[in-house]
Amino acid sequence: MGRVSLLNVDEIRGDFPIFSRQVGGRPLIYLDSAATSQRPRQVVEAVRRYYEEYNSNVHRGVYSISVEATEEYERARRKISRFINAKSEREVVFVRGTTEALNLVAYAWALRKLRKGDKILLTEMEHHSNIVPWQLIAQHTGAEINYIPFNRYDGKLELDKLDRYKDFKILSFTYASNVLGTINDAKRLVKYAHENNALAVIDAAQAVPHMRVDVQEIGCDFLAFSGHKMLGPTGIGVLYGRRELLEEMQPFMGGGEMIREVHLSHSTWNEVPWKFEAGTPNVAGAIGLGAAVDYLERIGMERIREHEESLTKHALDEFEKIKGMRIYGPLEAGERAGLIAFNVADIHAHDLATLLDEDGICVRAGHHCAMPIHTKLETPATTRASFYLYNTHEEIERLTESIKKAAKKFKIT
Ligand code: PLP
């Protein structure tokens, strides 16, 4: 099928050495970028250069390679700040990933501010990383958690019921669901939180890698994302926080780098964002993430989003023709992120994923760290195919063929 791609995908794929390998004698078809993306040569090269050419600790040395490492680490922060349109790089805290970023807000803000009976508002479509930290805080403080429901048929939040939720102190929600694919109306949810004098926190793990995200336009107070889902290294991520909030918060962890002075009786804190970066940070990771941001900027986030939308539409069109196919979430590609979770009749998701692997196709099967979504969908597991800038329309066709082959094996015809 000759579909015109909006990106020069062949050229992009040339930057990813992994795509030249074979799996079981077949070319690798990687459809699991929602779990972790692949890395282009440029990112690996930036990390290699750090380790081979100026490896040293940051912020401490007066010697030249340490100054260089510090400059590159802080330059990466500025790139990321521009990428999400933060007002200043002081609003970009390096953490390990989305999970740590959300825990940071939970422990450094909510644990200190919330009292018994205070309400935390989440949605039913959260990843465990945006549920469990709040449950821990609720256990500690006596706060209550309420969940905005989603409609199990179209996978969208029931925003017409939003005004039932009042007097909450914090609203934390996912920008794009890692199972349903639903892209939430972040601006509307943030506005609702602020009208209720609550803070708005966004889990943007599935958004920042795939679309233009502008924190000033959205108006959120905090936003979390992971480097490894956006072509960057593992073990590095970002918490964006409005500067006034970061300033007033207490540190999350104590130790080197986050201090100004330490006395035996007490300590004082460094300025933001370093106040939240205790210990030796992931210097290589931050520099690699800076290179990933350069790469994404060069291609253009609008074009990446259009390409993924076109792949998603193609997959939805093909999947609809497969007997026994059940797709979860919105059926319009424009309303969803580039990922599709599905089931085929009663084939177990793990069996299906194993059969697809025999054709060199990597998809994820299970609850995708979102058990409450699966409980509501009344299925223990789904198979999920997720797309990124390096995927092709031919791969969607190969995936469809492979699913049909698996269905035949299970005598679903
Ligand atoms: N939130 C969402 C929506 C995700 O998809 C993920 C990862 O799958 C996370 C949070 C957790 O990200 P990490 O494991 O990088 O901390």
- Nearest CA owner, ligand 1 atom 5: 178
Residue carrying structure tokens 């802080």: 74
Please tell me what DSSP assigns to residue 366. E
| Residue 223 covered by a domain | yes
Q: Are residues 174 and 218 in the same domain?
A: yes
Helix or strand holding residue 286 (H, E): helix 283-299
Which residue has its alpha carbon closest to ligand 1 atom 8?
35
Q: Residue 216: what residue type? A: Q
Best residue among 37, 95, 98 to mutate for probing ligand 1, ranked by most atoms within 8 Å of CB: 98
Residues 6+ apart with CB under 8 A from 52: none
Q: Give the Å distance between the CA of 204 and the centre of ligand 1.
A: 9
The reply to whether 85 and 13 lie within a common domain is no
> What CATH code is carried by the domain that includes residue 141?
3.40.640.10
The ligand 1 atom nearest the CA atom of 369: 8
- Closest approach atom of ligand 1 to CA 176: 3
**Terminal Cα-to-Cα distance of the chain (whole angstroms):** 24
CATH number of 312's domain: 3.90.1150.10
User: For residue 1, what pLDDT is reported?
Assistant: 45
Of 98, 164, 177, 128, the closest CA to residue 338 belongs to 177
Domain boundary among 298, 325, 359: 298
CB of 392 closer than 6 angstroms to any ligand 1 atom: no
SS3 93: strand
For ligand 1, pick from 95, 99, 125 the residue to mutate: most ligand atoms within 8 Å of CB: 99
Q: Domain boundary at 298, 327, 354, which? A: 298
CB distance 381 to 300 below 8 Å: no
User: Do 387 and 31 meet the contact criterion of CB atoms below 8 Å apart?
Assistant: yes
Pick the closest to residue 306 from 378, 387, 238, 227 (CA basis).
387
Q: What is the pLDDT of residues 331-381, one digit of tens each?
A: 999 999 999 999 999 999 999 999 999 999 999 999 999 999 999 999 999
386 lines ligand 1 (CB under 6 A): no
Q: 103: Cβ below 6 Å to ligand 1?
A: no
For residues 313 and 166, state if they share a domain. no
Say whether pTM exceeds 0.95.
Answer: yes
Quote the pLDDT of residue 412: 87
Which residue in the block uniquely carries the two structure tokens 């644990």? 111
Report pLDDT for 61.
80
Whether residue 70 sits in one domain with residue 25? no
Residue in 32, 122, 127, 228 to alter for ligand 1 test, most ligand atoms within 8 A of Cβ: 127
By alpha-carbon position, which residue is closest to atom 6 of ligand 1? Answer: 205
234 plus 262 within the same structural domain: yes
| 89 inside domain | yes
Question: For the chain, what is the domain count?
Answer: 2
> Which protein residue has the closest C-alpha to ligand 1 atom 7?
35
Q: State the distance from the centre of ligand 1 to the C-alpha of 405, rounded, in angstroms.
A: 31
85 within a domain of the structure (yes/no): yes
Same domain, 252 and 262: yes
174 touches ligand 1 (CB under 6 Å): yes
Amino acid at 13: R
Query: Is residue 325 in some structural domain?
Result: yes
Q: Do residue 183 and residue 321 come from a single domain?
A: no
Q: Please tell me if the CB atom of residue 210 comes closer than 6 angstroms to any atom of ligand 1.
A: no
Among the candidates 272, 298, 324, a domain finishes at 298
Helices assigned H by DSSP within 371-412: 371-377, 393-409
**DSSP letters of 202-249?**
EE-TTTTTTS---HHHHT-SEEEEEGGGTTS-TT-EEEEE-HHHHHHS
Name the residue range of residue 334's domain. Answer: 9-30+300-409
The answer to whether residues 211 and 335 touch, using CB atoms and an 8 Å cutoff, is: no
CB of 287 within 8 A of CB of 94?
Answer: no
Residues whose CB falls within 8 Å of the CB of residue 211, separated by 6 or more in sequence, listed in order: 183, 301, 304, 305
Query: Does residue 98's CB lie within 6 angstroms of at least one atom of ligand 1?
Result: yes
Block means of pLDDT (10 residues each) for the chain, length 413 residues? Answer: 74 97 91 98 98 94 94 98 98 98 98 98 98 98 98 97 96 98 98 98 98 98 98 98 97 92 95 96 98 98 98 97 96 97 97 96 96 96 98 98 96 83
- Catalytic site positions: 369
What residues contact residue 14 under an 8 Å CB cut-off, 6+ apart?
none
- Same structural domain for residues 119 and 267? yes
Cα–ligand 1 centroid distance for 284 (angstroms): 21
Q: Residue 149 domain-assigned?
A: yes
Structural contact between residues 390 and 12, judged by C-beta atoms closer than 8 angstroms: yes
The verdict on 208 and 268 lying in the same domain is: yes
Please indicate whether residue 99, judged by its CB atom, sits closer than 6 Å to ligand 1. Answer: yes
Residues 249 and 317 in one domain: no
Pairing verdict, β 382-386 and 339-344? antiparallel
Question: Is residue 36 included in any domain, yes or no?
Answer: no
Same domain? 266 vs 313: no
Q: Would you say residue 105 lies in a domain? A: yes
Classify residue 271: in a domain, yes or no: yes
- Do 188 and 200 share a domain, yes or no? yes
Element housing 74 (H / E): helix 64-83
- CA 245 centroid distance within chain: 22
Compute, in angstroms, the gap from residue 116 CA to the centroid of ligand 1.
Answer: 29
